[in-house]
């Protein structure tokens, strides 16, 4: 399989096919999902072509406020028949599946069987996220660099493995380990451990179903890698690879990356650690072998591939931490804020196997950096209150930010209220991360929400780099 950079591709046939599949008027796009990622996708699809009809199911209060975007909370987006009927009725020629759960459950397969172009991988390919053990096995089979690991469904075997690997003189010099729930756990099924004892306890808790239910009935135990973590995104259509770009997020709830993991408390793009040289290695050593490997597995990958990588200090060598089979949240919001070309045409080309024929100008990016700060409900990622009224959104927009809604609703008086753990993503652009950070926090301070909180250090690594002149 030959990897193709977007700017190196030639031919214009894909653009015509993309327009026919909803990449331009009069066609439209259905976005499945209701979080900040889906709000960003709907917004970007409209910005790419203001004539395009965009429908979100279920969507949220923010997406519903976008011009030309309609939200259908009553539609069962997991019912392929109902989705197909809506697409025929509304003339929607492309379905973009946002979250991972319906992809793992096979929604893309069902929709394709009904004749709809779908942006999103098959259930077989989505196993890369649906099962961490499967993903690691794929890495082992096709030579993708990743941490040393084994998968277990037995507490004793996991403990024995950890004691051997973490012992003085063992294979893991640091003595530190990571324990991961095999199945989907909303981005929270990962525990970083400083000792074999701590890791064995975490594995036992997962295997007993105490932490993540059925998602933890199998666990992956692996070496804790040192370095700087980054997210890398590429589009695949089953035969071609088109690079998108990089981002970095902050998963921990507390400043300085402390406390329990969340779905993400903020992000910025591009990731300074992903230099052109590191990007070339990610594509050659991780993305392309995964793409080729999935073909060999009989499950060609079609959609966005999100590779979480650890960049080794000194050498710049990337090693794969995880694969997500959808755009990240909140990374998606940062990435799409920098996109200056039509997202719909590119997603439609990926859905129809046309990435290799994209024109050289299919993807155009702003040279600016984007930074997003998540406003979450107090208590998140634990128990949190819902229903609080949120004000100041217009003032935040006037301050130059784009506010993406992740967990919002509308009350009987038309006011925006909190309806989730991560509620808003306040996103701003700047000449660098420092400038984008200043703009984002100025907009955060304009928002009035008594029950909300945020981290105040999003982007701190990049800001420090810029202060050092790197």
- What's phi and psi for 424, nearest 5 deg? -135, 150
- Per-residue confidence (pLDDT) for residue 427, from 0 to 100: 98
Question: How far apart, in Å, do the first and last CA atoms of the chain sit?
Answer: 36
pLDDT at 20 over 90: no
Place of tokens 């409209």: 46
Question: Hey, CA dihedral for 463, 464, 468, 470, is it positive or negative?
Answer: negative
Tokens of 65: 């406020």
Rounded to whole angstroms, how far apart are CA atoms 269 and 144?
Answer: 25
- Per-residue confidence (pLDDT) for residue 305, from 0 to 100: 98
Beta bridge partners of 69: 54
3-state helix, strand, coil in the chain (%, to 5): 35, 25, 40
271 CB-near residues (< 8 Å, 6+ apart): 230, 231, 246, 247, 248, 462
Tokens of 324: 């997500």
Tokens of 462: 């990049």
pLDDT range class, residue 12, cuts 50, 70, 90 = very low
- Per-residue confidence (pLDDT) for residue 4, from 0 to 100: 37
458 CB-near residues (< 8 Å, 6+ apart): 250, 265, 266, 267, 268, 371, 372, 373, 437, 440
pLDDT at 6 over 70: no
pLDDT at 7 over 70: no
Share of the chain above pLDDT 90, in %: 87
pLDDT at 247 over 70: yes
pLDDT range class, residue 22, cuts 50, 70, 90 = very low
- What's phi and psi for 109, nearest 5 deg? -60, -45
pLDDT range class, residue 62, cuts 50, 70, 90 = very high
Beta bridge partners of 302: 237
The H-assigned helical ranges of 120-195 are 123-130, 132-142, 155-166
Q: Are 362 and 369 in contact (CB under 8 A)?
A: no
Tokens of 314: 């000194």
Of 205-209, 266-270, 299-303, 321-325, which gets the smallest average pLDDT? 205-209
pLDDT range class, residue 71, cuts 50, 70, 90 = very high
Secondary structure (DSSP) of 310-331: EEPTTT--EEEEEEESS--TTH
- Crossing angle (nearest 10°) for helices 288-296 and 132-142: 100
Tokens of 255: 């400043």
DSSP annotation of 241: E
Q: Which of 182, 269, 200 is nearest to 232 (CA)?
A: 269
Helix or strand or coil: residue 193? Answer: strand
Of 21-35, 61-75, 238-252, which gets the smallest average pLDDT? 21-35
pLDDT at 41 over 80: yes
pLDDT, one tens digit per residue, over 391-405 is 999 999 999 999 999
Q: Which of 303, 321, 309 is nearest to 280 (CA)?
A: 309
Tokens of 315: 């050498």
pLDDT at 186 over 80: no
pLDDT at 227 over 90: yes
- Mean pLDDT on 147-163: 95
Question: Hey, CA dihedral for 364, 397, 447, 186, is it positive or negative?
Answer: negative
Q: Which of 225, 127, 137 is nearest to 183 (CA)?
A: 127
- Mean pLDDT on 38-45: 98
Strands 53-58 and 69-71: parallel
- Mean pLDDT on 131-159: 96
Question: Hey, CA dihedral for 80, 418, 69, 43, is it positive or negative?
Answer: negative
Rounded to whole angstroms, how far apart are CA atoms 96 and 302?
Answer: 12
Residue 48 belongs to what H/E stretch?
A: helix 36-48
pLDDT, one tens digit per residue, over 276-301 is 999 999 999 999 999 999 999 999 99
Q: Are 230 and 250 in contact (CB under 8 A)?
A: no
Rounded to whole angstroms, how far apart are CA atoms 383 and 196?
Answer: 30
Top-confidence residue, 188 or 300 = 300
Q: Is 0.85 surpassed by the pTM of this model?
A: yes
Tokens of 22: 């909803």
pLDDT range class, residue 215, cuts 50, 70, 90 = confident
pLDDT range class, residue 24, cuts 50, 70, 90 = very low
- What's phi and psi for 301, nearest 5 deg? -90, 130
Tokens of 67: 């011009």
Rounded to whole angstroms, how far apart are CA atoms 93 and 115?
Answer: 10
- Per-residue confidence (pLDDT) for residue 115, from 0 to 100: 95
Dihedral Cα 30, 32, 38, 42, nearest 10 deg:
10
- Per-residue confidence (pLDDT) for residue 116, from 0 to 100: 95
- What's phi and psi for 143, nearest 5 deg? 75, 30
- Per-residue confidence (pLDDT) for residue 142, from 0 to 100: 98
Domains in the chain with CATH codes: 6-124 (3.40.50.20), 154-217 (no CATH)
Of 7-16, 291-300, 377-386, which gets the smallest average pLDDT? 7-16
Tokens of 339: 């996109």
- Per-residue confidence (pLDDT) for residue 209, from 0 to 100: 86
Top-confidence residue, 3 or 428 = 428
- Mean pLDDT on 409-422: 95
pLDDT, one tens digit per residue, over 93-132 is 999 999 999 999 999 999 999 999 999 999 999 999 999 9
Average of per-residue pLDDT values in the chain:
92
């Amino acid at each position: 399989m030959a990897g193709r950079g977007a700017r190196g591709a030639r031919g214009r046939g894909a653009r015509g096919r993309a327009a026919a599949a909803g990449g331009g008027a009069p066609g439209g796009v259905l976005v499945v999902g209701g979080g900040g990622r889906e709000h960003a996708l709907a917004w970007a699809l409209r910005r790419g072509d203001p004539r395009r009809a965009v429908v979100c199911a279920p969507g949220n209060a923010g997406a519903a406020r976008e011009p030309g975007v309609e939200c259908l909370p009553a539609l069962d987006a997991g019912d392929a028949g109902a989705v197909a009927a809506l697409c025929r009725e509304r003339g929607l020629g492309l379905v973009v599946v946002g979250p991972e759960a319906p992809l793992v459950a096979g929604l893309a397969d069902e929709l394709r069987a009904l004749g709809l172009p779908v942006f999103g991988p098959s259930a077989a390919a989505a196993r890369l996220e649906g099962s961490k053990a499967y993903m690691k096995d794929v890495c082992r089979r096709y030579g993708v660099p990743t941490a040393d690991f084994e998968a277990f469904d037995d507490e004793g075997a996991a403990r024995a493995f950890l004691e051997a690997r973490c012992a003085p003189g063992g294979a893991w010099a640091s003595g530190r380990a990571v324990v991961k729930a095999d199945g989907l756990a909303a981005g929270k099924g990962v525990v970083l451990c400083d000792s074999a004892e701590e890791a064995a306890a975490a594995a036992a808790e997962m295997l007993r179903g105490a932490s993540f239910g059925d998602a933890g009935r199998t666990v992956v135990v692996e070496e804790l890698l040192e370095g700087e973590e980054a997210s890398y995104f590429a589009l695949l259509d089953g035969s071609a690879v088109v690079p998108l770009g990089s981002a970095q997020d902050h998963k921990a709830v507390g400043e300085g990356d402390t406390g329990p993991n969340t779905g993400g408390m903020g992000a910025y793009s591009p990731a300074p650690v992903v230099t052109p040289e590191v990007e070339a290695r990610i594509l050659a050593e991780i993305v392309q072998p995964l793409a080729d490997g999935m073909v060999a597995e009989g499950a060609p990958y079609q959609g966005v591939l999100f590779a979480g990588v650890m960049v080794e200090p000194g050498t710049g060598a990337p090693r794969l931490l995880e694969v997500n089979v959808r755009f990240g949240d909140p990374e998606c919001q940062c990435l799409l804020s920098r996109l200056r070309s039509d997202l719909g045409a590119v997603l439609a080309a990926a859905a129809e196997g046309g990435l290799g024929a994209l024109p050289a100008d299919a993807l155009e990016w702003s040279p600016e950096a984007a930074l997003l700060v998540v406003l979450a409900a107090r208590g998140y990622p634990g128990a949190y209150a819902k229903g609080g009224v949120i004000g100041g959104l217009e003032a935040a927009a006037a301050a130059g930010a784009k506010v993406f809604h992740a967990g919002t609703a509308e009350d009987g008086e038309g006011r925006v209220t909190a309806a989730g753990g991560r509620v808003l993503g306040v996103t701003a652009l700047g000449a660098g991360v420092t400038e984008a950070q200043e703009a984002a926090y100025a907009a955060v301070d304009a928002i009035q929400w008594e029950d909300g909180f945020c981290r105040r250090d999003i982007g701190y690594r990049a800001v420090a780099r810029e202060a050092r002149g790197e």
